[in-house]
Amino acid sequence: MSTAAPADIQLDASGRLRHFLTVEGLNRELLVRIMDTAESFASVTAQNVKKVPLLRGKTVVNLFFENSTRTRTTFELAAKRLSADVLNINIATSATSKGESLLDTIRNLEAMHVDMFVVRHAQSGAAHFIARHVAPHISVLNAGDGRHAHPTQAMLDVFTIRRCKGGFAGLKVAIVGDILHSRVARSEIWALNALGVDEVRVVAPKTLLPAHVESLGVVPYHDLSEGLRDVDVVIMLRLQLERMGSAFIPSEHEYFQRFGLTGRRLEKAKSDVIVMHPGPINRGIEIDSAIADGPRSVILQQVTHGIAVRMAVMSMTMRAGSDMEAAA
């Protein structure tokens, strides 16, 4: 499965989101519009009735071919708070596990008159493949595909940064950890650069950095203390041990000794630095518990903001899909 240029299938003729597959290639204006829309939904969670009727009568299907707790549940909550019906497909017991092709699975679900697919898949390009083959009124959201992209995670992270820092101009951001295997890192790099941060750093051992990583618009560091010097935001990444086919690190203990975030190392950053992590956290491997639970951490805020951001993307793409169906 190959990926397509974002403008080819992500946007409708008016430049609005039809699918949300990657932030790569999307302009600053559209990313800001997603965050502004998320801001309008952020207060819904504080209401007694945590629902708005925007997607009443619509059906959202969660197709998760990889395990997930945080992402799947926040997508489900987002859809329900927009008043949509939600169908969670158990892939382990679905016809796909019995040999049915991915496209046949999609066609059968389409026949049930659903309106959106939220897809997580181990193969890069799976969400793009589905988006190319669905009916015109159906929207596809990428909830993570292989090593390629995790666009809603990137958007909830930049939304969190904007809420904490007020904007992006002049910010230095350090992304620390397993850059090589991380779809989150790629999406964050694309989003942060599009939004105009001053500098994006990637900090990792050489074995966990992609070749020619500078071409992504980042500055690589192999020393954590130097990489954290004077930064405003630190984004820690999980070691993707399940994706490592060989010994990329000597041991988890040694990794923490060199690249684990501790209080002493965090002192190199600015005094008002915020610490982020997309989760799940491996305490004592990537980050010390005192930092993960400390005053500089906004990790739980990221989770909360994920619902508002996913509500925003769902509402924006579904409206475009509805317009296309009406015009057909």
- We report the CATH number of the domain holding residue 190 as 3.40.50.1370
Q: What pLDDT is attached to residue 80?
A: 97
3-state SS, one letter per residue, for the chain: CCCCCHHHHCECCCCCECCECCCCCCCHHHHHHHHHHHHHHHHHHHCCCCCCCCCCCCEEEEEECCCCCHHHHHHHHHHHHCCCEEEEECHHHCHHHHCCCHHHHHHHHHCCCCCEEEEEECCCCHHHHHHHHCCCCCEEEEEEECCCECHHHHHHHHHHHHHHHCCCCCCEEEEECCCCCCHHHHHHHHHHHHCCCCEEEEECCHHHCCCCHHHHCCEEECCHHHHCCCCCEEEECCCCHHHCCCCCCCCHHHHHHHHCECHHHHCCCCCCCEEECCCCCCECCCECHHHHCCCCECHHHHHHHHHHHHHHHHHHHHHHHHHHHHHC
The two three-digit tokens of residue 9, written as one number: 């299938």
State whether 165 and 145 are in the same domain: no
State whether 225 and 130 are in the same domain: no
Domain range enclosing 261? 151-300
Q: What pLDDT is attached to residue 287?
A: 96
Q: What pLDDT is attached to residue 91?
A: 74
State whether 125 and 163 are in the same domain: no
State whether 14 and 97 are in the same domain: yes
User: How far is it, in rounded angstroms, from Cα 258 to Cα 78?
Assistant: 38
Is residue 1 situated within a structural domain? no
* Residue 6 CB neighbours (<10 A): 20
State whether 285 and 320 are in the same domain: no
| Per-position pLDDT tens, the chain of length 328 | 444 444 569 999 889 999 999 999 999 999 999 999 999 999 887 788 889 999 999 999 999 988 888 899 999 999 999 999 999 987 765 656 555 688 898 999 999 999 999 999 989 999 999 999 999 999 999 999 988 999 999 999 999 999 999 999 999 999 999 999 999 999 999 999 999 999 999 999 999 999 999 999 999 999 999 999 999 999 999 987 655 555 567 688 888 999 999 999 999 999 999 999 998 899 999 999 999 999 999 999 999 999 999 999 999 999 855 554 544 4
State whether 106 and 128 are in the same domain: yes
State whether 197 and 66 are in the same domain: no
* Residue 140 CB neighbours (<10 A): 28
What is the pairing mode between strands 219-221 and 233-236? unpaired
Q: What pLDDT is attached to residue 174?
A: 98
State whether 101 and 160 are in the same domain: no
Q: What pLDDT is attached to residue 4?
A: 44
Q: What pLDDT is attached to residue 323?
A: 55
The two three-digit tokens of residue 99, written as one number: 């040999």
Q: What pLDDT is attached to residue 69?
A: 86
Domain count, the chain: 2
Q: What single-letter amino acid sits at 311?
A: M
State whether 318 and 268 are in the same domain: no
Q: What pLDDT is attached to residue 46?
A: 78
State whether 24 and 128 are in the same domain: yes
Q: Which residues touch 268 (CB under 8 Å, ≥6 apart)?
A: 225, 226, 228, 229, 230
The model's pTM is 0.91
b/e string for 55-66 if b means 16 or more Cβ within 10 A?
beebbbbbbbbb
What is the pairing mode between strands 233-236 and 116-121? unpaired
State whether 237 and 315 are in the same domain: no
* Per-residue CA distances from 261 to 20, 51, 183, 221, 228 (Å): 32, 38, 21, 15, 10
Q: Which residues touch 286 (CB under 8 Å, ≥6 apart)?
A: 176, 177, 236, 237, 238, 239, 256, 259, 260, 261, 277
